[in-house]
Amino acid sequence: MKLPQPHTLLWLDDNDALQGINAPWVAQQWRPALPVVVRRDVHPQGLVPVGVRGLRRSERAAGWVNPARILRSVTPEMLVDMQTLQRSAFVSSPPLQAAIQLIQRAWPWRWGIAGSVGYALATEIPVIHADSDLDLLIRAPQRPEASELARWQAMVTQLPCRADTQIETPLGGFALTEWLREGRALLKTARGPRLVADPWVQEAE
């Protein structure tokens, strides 16, 4: 069974589906109607690494889920849908207006909406505000053309809110701005971050 990718939102079948979390606020606040998000980690028994968000920004907890306990999943790419954006209760907010501008352009890759904006879109829970950042994700199995990445970044800098883009390669994820600025990147992998010259090439340990 292929495990869900990082940033995917998961809905679980019951309160006891979460494993390895002892934070008291999780027991008080979390319920199966609220999704958890897939994070990067590796479990020897094939459990899915997930994160739980609370009511406060400081309330974040990391745990594990048996794949058999997953009822539904929503990827960041599934939220890049004009009807979903326009029907959202938050459509007038700057982050959603920014996403609408991006979706009106043609791009040579699959991209998605992650972070708090993605959570709000998937749940309709008001976890965003006018000053919220827009977290974007580009799936890049192969290295994209530099000119296309520059075109994307040029538009992102003109959006009506702050937006950050993470590039997802088969080896991990990295910040686009860092890559464009320095020509190398801190690649976030399931086994920890690594500074790499080429995020698409497996380097020797």
Q: Using H for helix, E for strand and C for coil, what is the string for 24-87? A: HHHHHHCCCCCCEEECCCCCCCCCEEEEEECCCCCCEEEEEECHHHEEEEECHHHHCCHHHHHH
Asked if residue 99 lies in contact with residue 107, where contact means CB atoms within 8 angstroms, the answer is no
The reported pLDDT for the residue numbered 205 is: 57
Q: Which residues are identified as catalytic?
A: 133, 135
126: left (phi over 0), alpha (psi -120 to 50) or beta: beta
pTM: 0.94
Asked if residue 9 lies in contact with residue 48, where contact means CB atoms within 8 angstroms, the answer is no
The reported pLDDT for the residue numbered 204 is: 62
The reported pLDDT for the residue numbered 22 is: 86
Spatial separation of the C-alpha atoms in residues 157 and 131, rounded to whole Å: 15
Residue with tokens 């990445």: 149
Residue numbers in the chain where pLDDT is lower than 50: none
The reported pLDDT for the residue numbered 1 is: 64
Written as one letter, the residue type at 73 is S
